[in-house]
Amino acid sequence: MTEKYNIICLSNQLWDYPNWTNKRHVMYRMGQLGHRIVFVDPPINFGKVLLTQFKKGFFTLGRLFKGYKVADNVLIYTPIKFLPFTKFYSEYFAKQINNLTKNFFKNENKTILWIYNVEIEHLESYLDGVNKDYLLYDCVDYYAGFPRYATKESKDVFLKVEKDLTQKADLVFATAPGLVERLKKYNSRTYYTPNVGDFELFHDIKEKYRNDTPLELKNVKHPIVGYIGALDTYKFDYEILKEAATTYPDYSFVIIGDIALKDREGTLKELGLEQISNIYFLGSIPFIKTPKYMAQFDAELIPYVYNDYTVGGCFPVKFFNTMSAGIPSIVTDLPVFTLYRDITYISKGKADFVANIKKALEEDSEQKYKERVSVASENTWDSKVSAMLHLIKSNFKS
């Protein structure tokens, strides 16, 4: 009989976040496999964010008073702060988590405290106060590379918190080689668990949406070179996009996502892209609807800049989504792509990147399509969860 676990997941993403589907979450898959999951949303303030949740239909008055809901075999707890007493609330929320697990968890199962949200305020209150048998840190980003840690002081403070967590953990997962290399210095039980794609959602979309072109793309001519995802200036290289669009005026560049400058939303005009007629900026589109748009792409870009964040620990989930669709991708020469050089176009510098766009389109074939899909089919959420459970079983002896 396969061993089952109770899992308390401190997440950095709301379960009901409107721009994604929680079915691509490890915890959803764990729940489907019979493990008992208490998923803890990042604490939110009573105000704008909560109001947005109400408007989106993800929060109700009943849930507000009850404090949680159960969906897809997962209990979702959303801590709400009414006052700015962060230390008090962290200790209070830890006690609430323990109360929720009493009736929801199975006594015969070992309990894992699974940390995604290393940025949570007063993390030590949860580490000390939440009942657990094992502590697991699942590192999915080089957080210290975010713009909010721009000063040496702020970066050092955060890195100390992460180092302490890593040393305390019974097991550490990391989604990029750079993260593994860094965290393994503090904990020898650190393992590479790369990001994966939503194969179920993106596979065979070319055929599925052959006659269902989104309205925004009906008059956009091919070849279409696209991008779907965050457009933050600390990782997305707008100069590559500008160079590519001006070099290939007969190509259409379709960009989906929100433009984000260092501390606010940006515009094409501010980036010098407003006058480039073959760039089509569609803004943000809910994740679940993106396959219909990607189905129209002839190639996809991942033009990332080089910095501590991208080189030190970034593995874009969009990469395997694109591979699942069989679409050629052109990527910046980041360490994480080294293993996949046979199925993608790795580019060193702007000129190489721009040249590879044309090359990818000209070389595309049925054989290359099959090769990309084959690799993607081995890098799915189910395969990732299976690998994680194997490592958990190997390291957490009953």
Per-residue pLDDT, 192? 96
Instruction: Give the Cβ contact number of residue 384 at 10 Å.
Output: 19
Tell me the three state secondary structure of residue 4: coil
Per the CB < 8 A criterion, the answer to whether 381 and 26 are in contact is yes
Could you tell me which residue, 109 or 2, shows the higher pLDDT? 109
CA distance 326 to 310: 24
Q: What is the CATH number of the domain that holds 106?
A: 3.40.50.2000
Q: How confident is the model at residue 337 (pLDDT cuts 50, 70, 90)?
A: very high
Residues 190 and 227 occupy one common structural domain: no
Q: How confident is the model at residue 13 (pLDDT cuts 50, 70, 90)?
A: confident
**Pairing relationship of beta strands 68-71 and 74-77 according to DSSP bridges:** antiparallel
User: Which of 59-63, 82-86, 273-277, 352-356 is the least confident region?
Assistant: 59-63
Nearest alpha-carbon partner for 136 in 23, 1, 230, 35: 35
Per-residue pLDDT, 173? 97
Per the CB < 8 A criterion, the answer to whether 134 and 110 are in contact is yes
Residues 120 and 44 occupy one common structural domain: yes
Per-residue pLDDT, 110? 95
* Average pLDDT rounded to a whole number, residues 267-274: 71
Per-residue pLDDT, 232? 83
* Average pLDDT rounded to a whole number, residues 9-15: 86
Per-residue pLDDT, 275? 83
User: Which of 167-176, 244-253, 255-264, 365-374 is the least confident region?
Assistant: 255-264
Q: How confident is the model at residue 81 (pLDDT cuts 50, 70, 90)?
A: confident
Summarize pLDDT for 32-59 with one digit per residue, the tens.
999 999 999 888 766 566 666 666 656 6
Q: How confident is the model at residue 150 (pLDDT cuts 50, 70, 90)?
A: confident
Please give the share of the chain, as a percent, with pLDDT higher than 90: 66
User: 204 in the Ramachandran plot: left (φ > 0), alpha (ψ -120 to 50) or beta?
Assistant: left
Over the chain, what is the mean pLDDT? 89
Per-residue pLDDT, 188? 97
- Expressed as residue numbers, the domain containing 362 is 199-377
Residues 45 and 105 occupy one common structural domain: yes
Question: How many structural domains does the chain have?
Answer: 2
Residues 370 and 391 occupy one common structural domain: no
Per-residue pLDDT at 316 exceeds 70: yes
CA distance 93 to 97: 6
Per-residue pLDDT at 78 exceeds 60: yes
Residues 278 and 156 occupy one common structural domain: no
Per the CB < 8 A criterion, the answer to whether 115 and 12 are in contact is no
Per-residue pLDDT at 377 exceeds 60: yes
Is residue 342 classed exposed, middle or buried when 0-12, 13-18 and 19+ CB atoms within 10 A define those classes? exposed
Could you tell me which residue, 126 or 234, shows the higher pLDDT? 126
Residues 343 and 389 occupy one common structural domain: no
Nearest alpha-carbon partner for 330 in 317, 315, 345, 340: 345
Torsion angle, alpha carbons of 326, 331, 334, 338, to 10: 40
Per-residue pLDDT at 323 exceeds 80: yes
CA distance 111 to 257: 38
Per-residue pLDDT, 88? 87
Residues 153 and 207 occupy one common structural domain: no
Could you tell me which residue, 18 or 125, shows the higher pLDDT? 125
Per-residue pLDDT, 354? 97
Residues 319 and 228 occupy one common structural domain: yes
Residues 141 and 119 occupy one common structural domain: yes
Residue type, 270: E
Residues 21 and 153 occupy one common structural domain: yes
Task: Render 63-106 in DSSP notation, one character per residue.
Answer: HHHH-EEEETTEEEE--EESSS-HHHHHHHHHHHHHHHHHHHS-
Please give the share of the chain, as a percent, with pLDDT higher than 70: 89
* Average pLDDT rounded to a whole number, residues 118-147: 93
Residues 390 and 303 occupy one common structural domain: no
Per-residue pLDDT, 182? 95
User: Which of 30-39, 179-188, 306-315, 339-348 is the least confident region?
Assistant: 306-315
Residues 273 and 190 occupy one common structural domain: no
Could you tell me which residue, 234 or 353, shows the higher pLDDT? 353
Nearest alpha-carbon partner for 274 in 245, 312, 295, 240: 245
